[in-house]
């Protein structure tokens, strides 16, 4: 009987692996007493450390064996990973067996992992050599193994390390070891193709598989990813009674092969782009990351069915764009409505606010966009943020918060650049990769176009930061191109799963500006109520040369943010006392122009009562408060 392979891979169900053995090399079972090192990570990091920006820590979960594993996170480049110095037990030029098991849980369907050696050669230069590599399916343990690897001759300062090919995924490492040449070190084994009906993974479909299928039906599924995929013989995405019937018919010889799933025609697979080759390259360069496309395809299908679909845009002045019909938000909304809508069923909200960072964006997101339950959310703060932890955490918190909404919106990150090249692409791209969301990079597209001569800066900018109408059209065109690529069958993704990994931290994720009437026992003191800023509700300005009576209130939460008027000079400083702990915030901030900025005044680990007092450091100074943010 014939059988078909599913186009996916899983962890092989094996205890011993000979992956990487040299042809003709005699392999023998491992003797743990002969190991040169054996990192089990049962109680710590076992002398492993982070490579580059990565950090490593002991994780008392997701272990391959035992109860602990090494967790690697905070990666900002693919070469960031986990590393272990090779000590005196290893001799340059000699041959050894190496093994480590790796797993990741967030990101794309598969990732490519490497185990490598970094060393110094005889001339003092740094060299790198690969020991093993493997394609790793998301959620499965896979073994990186080579039973016969020769260390470079003359090498010194040798370090073993594990990295990925190009992703920033956080990952786990467990049961890493080195042994004499030819030793087969137990491990998860290599990835294997899934064969429909071969539930136990022995490459044969027989009565054992039928028995396992019946058990799986009784138990409501399978604990192993591979088994579940193999049992889904009709490939409809779930294991059902119909799969059991098909498997029985196959074993009885009633059918000679499992039926192939019907794939509906997709008009976007045949869509012909009409732009010039130069502009097609420009659009292609703008896709920094396709990301998981399931949510955006669902929202497009929703619009095509005639249901109401809402688009929301949050960012700085590039997004605000004067809120004219020529800004990129309005243009890309019209493209979505005209292409996928059925009349008037698509609406949009431009919540761009000039001069604001992602920290202000996070604090106003709930009131300005999320209460409206948008289906698609664009986030753009790339020239307003800076390489500071508060911006990194606020941007990640905003992305995670949007993705966590009950209506499961599609989230798309837009990255711009200044005329001089300033951009927060590196830190924002790291967040995009961790959360596997689409990232559209005008930074990449523009930089490549300027360098090749396809475009000049005058073709895009009206000043150092802002695109003119034609520049905004380029952003909109790149968004449209992304939609068309996301709809192609080759770019379809499985349903989106929010990862449990983080990049910079999610302490700020729940922070929201609280209306004044929701602050307990609020007393404005010497701060007088005036006008707000856009949708920011407060306009509490300090009365200069007054008695400097503190503003006081209490609230429940973990922390307090202050949203205030910031300028490069001429602003005052406030003293903030929260539960007896004092901090200061100055309104004088570089790269600000009299618009809103925000700072963290206080944070604690658990929710509790926060008693707050705010007063001026100098009663003759100016200071305006536009919002109080509370970390819930």
- Decide if 75 is inside a domain: yes
pLDDT per position as a tens digit, 521-549:
999 999 999 888 889 988 899 999 999 99
- Asked whether the beta carbons of 317 and 354 are under 8 A apart, the reply is yes
In angstroms, rounded to a whole number, what is the distance separating the alpha carbons of residues 198 and 205? 5
User: CA distances (Å), 534 to each of 60, 236, 314, 349, 506, in order?
Assistant: 47, 49, 13, 14, 27
In angstroms, rounded to a whole number, what is the distance separating the alpha carbons of residues 527 and 549? 8
524 lies in the same domain as 414: no
Instruction: State the first-to-last Cα distance of the chain, in angstroms, to the nearest integer.
Output: 60
Structure tokens belonging to residue 198: 């071969």
**Which is nearest to 125 in space by CA: 82, 87, 96, 156?**
156
Burial class (CB in 10 A: 0-12, 13-18, 19+), 458: exposed
Q: How many CB atoms lie within 10 A of CB 506?
A: 15
**Which is nearest to 366 in space by CA: 354, 380, 351?**
351
Q: How many CB atoms lie within 10 A of CB 202?
A: 12
In angstroms, rounded to a whole number, what is the distance separating the alpha carbons of residues 155 and 160? 13
480 lies in the same domain as 519: no
3-state secondary structure of 189: coil
- Decide if 362 is inside a domain: yes
In sequence order, the 6+-apart residues with CB closer than 8 A to the CB of 349 are: 310, 311, 312, 313, 368, 369, 372, 374
- Decide if 210 is inside a domain: no
Query: Looking at the predicted structure, is the pLDDT value of residue 356 above 80?
Result: yes
Query: Looking at the predicted structure, is the pLDDT value of residue 229 above 90?
Result: no
CATH of the domain at 389: 3.40.50.1110
In sequence order, the 6+-apart residues with CB closer than 8 A to the CB of 273 are: 280, 283, 481, 484
- What's the gap between Cα 297 and its chain centre? 19
- What is the model's pLDDT at position 594? 83
- What is the model's pLDDT at position 191? 67
In angstroms, rounded to a whole number, what is the distance separating the alpha carbons of residues 415 and 384? 11
469 lies in the same domain as 548: no
- What is the model's pLDDT at position 10? 57
In angstroms, rounded to a whole number, what is the distance separating the alpha carbons of residues 404 and 238? 25
- What is the model's pLDDT at position 12? 46
24 lies in the same domain as 156: yes
463 lies in the same domain as 532: no
Query: 434 lies in which domain range?
Result: 268-491
Structure tokens belonging to residue 75: 């990666």
522 lies in the same domain as 481: no
Which pTM was predicted? 0.65
Query: Looking at the predicted structure, is the pLDDT value of residue 15 above 50?
Result: no
Question: What mean pLDDT value characterizes the chain?
Answer: 90
- Decide if 202 is inside a domain: no
Query: Looking at the predicted structure, is the pLDDT value of residue 600 above 90?
Result: yes
Sign of CA dihedral 590, 594, 595, 600: positive
66 lies in the same domain as 133: yes
- Decide if 257 is inside a domain: no
90 lies in the same domain as 133: yes
User: CA distances (Å), 148 to each of 55, 117, 280, 413, 415, in order?
Assistant: 30, 14, 47, 45, 45
Strand-pair partners of 314? 379
In angstroms, rounded to a whole number, what is the distance separating the alpha carbons of residues 587 and 607? 28
Range picked from 322-326, 444-448, 493-497 for highest mean pLDDT: 444-448
In angstroms, rounded to a whole number, what is the distance separating the alpha carbons of residues 600 and 96? 52
- β-strands 551-567, 593-616 pairing: antiparallel
- What is the model's pLDDT at position 75? 86
- Decide if 261 is inside a domain: no
**Which is nearest to 572 in space by CA: 535, 554, 546?**
546
**Which is nearest to 139 in space by CA: 216, 62, 45?**
62
Query: Looking at the predicted structure, is the pLDDT value of residue 230 above 90?
Result: no
128-142, 448-462, 512-526: segment of lowest average pLDDT? 128-142
Say which residue the tokens 């559209």 belong to: 440
In angstroms, rounded to a whole number, what is the distance separating the alpha carbons of residues 12 and 225? 11
In sequence order, the 6+-apart residues with CB closer than 8 A to the CB of 299 are: 309, 375, 376, 409, 410
pLDDT per position as a tens digit, 79-127:
899 999 999 999 999 999 999 999 998 777 788 899 999 999 999 999 9
Query: Looking at the predicted structure, is the pLDDT value of residue 18 above 90?
Result: no
In angstroms, rounded to a whole number, what is the distance separating the alpha carbons of residues 615 and 389? 26
CATH of the domain at 155: 2.60.120.260
- What's the gap between Cα 29 and its chain centre? 40
Confidence of residue 135 (pLDDT cuts 50, 70, 90): confident
Query: Looking at the predicted structure, is the pLDDT value of residue 6 above 60?
Result: no
- What is the model's pLDDT at position 5? 30
- Decide if 89 is inside a domain: yes
Strand-pair partners of 174? 101
Q: Domain boundary at 157, 189, 221, which?
A: 189
- What is the model's pLDDT at position 263? 64
Say which residue the tokens 């497009």 belong to: 300
Q: Which residues of 536-548 are buried (b: 16+ CB within 10 A; e: fewer)?
A: bbbbbbbeeeeeb
Burial class (CB in 10 A: 0-12, 13-18, 19+), 288: buried
Helix pair angle (207-219, 241-252), 10° resolution: 170
Q: What is the 3-state secondary structure (H, E, C) of 316-384?
A: CHHHHHHHCCCCHHHHHHHHHHHHHCCCCCEEEEECCCCCCCHHHHHHHHHHHCHHHCCCEEEEECCCC
Half-sphere exposure of 522 toward its Cβ, with a 13 Å CA cutoff?
Answer: 15
> Torsions phi, psi of 474, nearest 5?
-65, -40
Q: Domain boundary at 143, 174, 189, which?
A: 189
Q: Domain boundary at 151, 173, 189, which?
A: 189
Say which residue the tokens 């294997």 belong to: 192
pLDDT per position as a tens digit, 251-302:
999 999 998 877 667 899 999 999 999 999 999 999 999 999 999 999 999 9
Range picked from 7-11, 152-156, 260-264 for highest mean pLDDT: 152-156
482 lies in the same domain as 539: no
56-65, 226-235, 508-517: segment of lowest average pLDDT? 226-235
481 lies in the same domain as 515: no
- Average pLDDT, integer, range 617-621: 92
Say which residue the tokens 């003709």 belong to: 24
In angstroms, rounded to a whole number, what is the distance separating the alpha carbons of residues 536 and 364? 7
- Asked whether the beta carbons of 416 and 383 are under 8 A apart, the reply is yes
158 lies in the same domain as 294: no
- What is the model's pLDDT at position 434? 93
- Average pLDDT, integer, range 439-462: 97
541 lies in the same domain as 469: no
Residue 242, H or E segment: helix 241-252
- Decide if 13 is inside a domain: no
Q: How many domains does the chain have?
A: 3
Residue 493 or residue 455, greater confidence: 455
- Asked whether the beta carbons of 182 and 227 are under 8 A apart, the reply is no
């Amino acid at each position: 009987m014939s059988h078909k392979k599913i186009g996916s891979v899983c962890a092989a169900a094996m205890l011993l692996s000979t992956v990487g053995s040299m042809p003709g090399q005699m392999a023998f079972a491992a003797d743990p007493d002969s190991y040169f090192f054996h990192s089990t990570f049962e109680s710590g990091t076992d002398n492993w450390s982070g490579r580059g920006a990565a950090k490593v820590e002991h994780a008392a979960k997701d272990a391959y064996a035992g109860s602990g594993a090494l967790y690697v996170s905070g990666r900002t480049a693919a070469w960031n990973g986990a590393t272990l110095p090779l000590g005196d037990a290893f001799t340059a030029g000699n041959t050894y067996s190496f093994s480590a098991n790796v797993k990741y849980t967030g990101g794309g369907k598969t990732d490519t992992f490497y185990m490598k050696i970094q060393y110094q050669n005889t001339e003092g230069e740094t060299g790198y050599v690969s020991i093993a590599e493997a394609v790793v399916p998301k959620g499965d343990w896979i073994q990186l193994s080579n039973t016969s690897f020769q260390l470079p001759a003359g090498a010194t300062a040798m370090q073993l390390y594990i990295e990925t090919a190009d992703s920033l995924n956080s990952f786990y490492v467990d049961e890493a070891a080195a042994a004499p040449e030819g030793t087969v070190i137990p491990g998860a084994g290599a990835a294997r193709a899934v064969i429909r009906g071969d539930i136990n993974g022995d490459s044969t479909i027989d009565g054992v598989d039928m028995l396992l299928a019946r058990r799986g039906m009784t138990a409501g599924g399978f604990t192993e990813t591979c088994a579940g995929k193999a049992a889904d013989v009709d490939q409809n995405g779930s294991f059902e009674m119909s799969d059991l019937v098909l498997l029985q018919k196959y074993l009885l010889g009633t059918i000679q092969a499992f039926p192939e799933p019907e794939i509906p025609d997709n008009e976007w697979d045949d869509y012909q782009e009409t732009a010039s080759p130069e502009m097609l390259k420009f659009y292609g360069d703008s896709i920094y990351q396709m990301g998981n496309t399931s949510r955006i395809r669902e929202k497009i299908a929703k619009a095509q069915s005639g249901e109401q679909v809402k688009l929301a845009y949050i960012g700085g002045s590039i997004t605000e764009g004067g809120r004219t019909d020529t800004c990129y938000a309005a243009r890309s909304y019209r493209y979505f409505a005209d292409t996928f809508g059925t009349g008037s069923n698509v609406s949009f909200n431009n919540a761009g606010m000039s001069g604001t960072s992602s920290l202000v964006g996070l604090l106003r997101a709930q009131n300005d966009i999320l209460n409206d339950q948008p289906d698609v959310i664009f986030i753009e703060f790339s020239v307003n943020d800076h390489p500071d932890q508060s911006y990194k955490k606020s941007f990640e918190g905003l992305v995670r918060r949007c993705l966590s909404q009950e209506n499961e919106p599609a989230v798309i990150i837009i990255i711009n650049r200044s005329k001089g090249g300033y951009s927060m692409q590196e830190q924002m791209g790291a967040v995009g990769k961790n959360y596997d969301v689409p990232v559209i990079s005008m930074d990449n597209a523009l930089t490549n176009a300027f360098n090749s001569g396809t475009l000049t800066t005058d073709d895009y900018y009206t000043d150092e930061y802002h695109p003119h109408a034609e520049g905004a059209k380029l952003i909109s065109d790149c968004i449209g191109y992304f939609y068309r690529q996301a709809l192609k069958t080759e770019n379809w993704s499985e349903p989106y799963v929010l990862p449990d990994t983080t990049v910079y931290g999610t302490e700020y994720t729940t922070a929201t500006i609280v209306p004044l009437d929701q602050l307990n026992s609020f007393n404005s003191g010497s701060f007088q109520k005036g006008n707000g800023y856009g949708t920011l509700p407060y306009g509490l300005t300090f009365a200069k040369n007054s008695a400097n009576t503190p503003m006081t209130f209490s609230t429940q939460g973990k922390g307090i943010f202050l949203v205030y008027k910031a300028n490069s000079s001429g602003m005052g400083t406030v003293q903030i006392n929260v539960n007896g702990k004092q901090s200061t915030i100055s309104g004088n901030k570089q790269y600000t122009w009299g618009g809103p900025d925000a700072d963290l005044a206080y944070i604690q680990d658990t929710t509790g009562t926060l008693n707050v007092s705010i007063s001026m450091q100098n009663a003759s100074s100016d200071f305006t408060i536009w919002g109080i943010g509370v970390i819930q």
